Amino acid sequence: MKKILALLVIAPMLISCSGSKKDQFNEAYVKDTNGFDILMGQFAHNIENIWGMNEVLIAGPKDYVKYSDQYYTRSHINFDAGTITIETISGTDPAASLRQAIISTLLVGDDPGNVDLYSDANDIQISREPMLYGQVLDNTGQPIRWIGRANSFADYLVQNKLMRRQSGMHIIYSVTIQMVPNHLNKRAHKYLPMIREASAKYGVDQSLILAIMQTESAFNPYAVSNADALGLMQVVQHTAGVDVFKSEGKWGKPSRSYLFDPQNNINTGTAYLAMLQNVYLGNIDNPTSRRYAVITAYNGGAGSVLRVFSQNKAQAFNIINNMAPGDVYTTLTTKHPSAESRRYLYKVNNTQRSYRRLD
């Protein structure tokens, strides 16, 4: 499993500059995508074999999931709900397995390059400021930065908050930790300097960047998706990543490790928003109408946005420019062929309102 992931992470896209670059790129895209699908399928199958059919849990855009202890123990951070659940089916010493996983989770850093989500390696490197610092308070109401406090809190949880349930043939032991009520804002605040820098560089409202990040990942730096979108802004290497690299005079695509770096991810996602805003959808005159189109296009592509109005690109721009912004919004939230894209515009638009005070 780890070998497959390593190949996907470090293998360069060996494409000749001669011949049909588009065809070669498409072949590489299919190969990489198929490789990732195989990896995920094998990983899910392995988890099902160990935990049971109803207990398959893997990382997602808003869910950090890390296995350890030969896959018998796992940590799940739900960044949307603000809960951290540590579970084990270890039959030897479940309390010890939980304790170690609690400590590792509380102290994990925010650099995804240091953690392999698809192995059981206990490869957590203690950070000077853990990813969850300030988002979790221990039983004495204190934030957790160092191993001593993490040890004490793990002991408290195992002794006082241990739960057990039956699932198939397994007894699952667990503890659940509630994050602080404003955990989302604390994570957002951590990335504000990077967001402000990208906003100024690319001319994209920082409120829009924040709204996209919250909707895509809930500010989870480890965010992944079944479409292999990566990082805080869920950038896809083969589409937005390639477009941005091309606009910057670079050939190929950003690597997974590149996109898991928070600053690179925010820059790439914001650069793509700027391309949608100024290039692909730049012929939309009204800035509010254009913003609705850009938001929808970030999820489903600019072409799909224009085809809602007309199969002819020029005609689509003409129709949009003769509509009131409210009508453009209604059209995109009711007539776009993708239900996900329809909901996406609604969510991002509402979320952006709460961030406008920061612009």
Q: Is residue 78 scored above 60 in pLDDT?
A: yes
Catalytic positions, written as ranges: 216
> Which percentage of the chain shows pLDDT scores above 90?
76
Of the listed ranges 189-198, 270-279, 348-357, the least confidently predicted one is: 348-357
pLDDT band, residue 32 (cuts 50/70/90): low
This prediction has a pTM of 0.86
Would you state the pLDDT for residue 321?
98
Would you state the pLDDT for residue 110?
84
**Which CA distances in Å does 6 have to 118, 119, 207, 349, 358?**
10, 11, 36, 38, 40
121 or 64: which carries more pLDDT confidence? 64
334 or 22: which carries more pLDDT confidence? 334
pLDDT band, residue 124 (cuts 50/70/90): low
3-state SS assignment for residue 224: strand
pLDDT in tens, 182-240: 999 999 999 999 999 999 999 999 999 999 999 999 999 999 998 889 999 999 999 99
Count of other CB atoms within 10 angstroms of residue 353 = 10
- Residue for token digits 């670079």? 250
pLDDT band, residue 111 (cuts 50/70/90): confident
Identify which of 214, 173, 218 has the alpha carbon closest to the alpha carbon of residue 83.
Answer: 218
Q: What is the Cα–Cα distance from 81 to 220, expressed in whole angstroms?
A: 12
Q: Which residues pair with 163 in a beta bridge?
A: 174
Tokens of 316: 């689509």
pLDDT band, residue 123 (cuts 50/70/90): low
Q: Is residue 162 scored above 50 in pLDDT?
A: yes
Mean model confidence pLDDT for the chain: 88
Q: Is residue 31 scored above 60 in pLDDT?
A: no
DSSP per-residue codes, 55-109? G----BTTEEEEEETTTTEEEEEETTTTEEEEEE--SS-HHHHHHHHHHHHHHB-
Amino acid at 352: Q
pLDDT in tens, 141-160: 999 999 999 999 999 999 99
Would you state the pLDDT for residue 179?
98
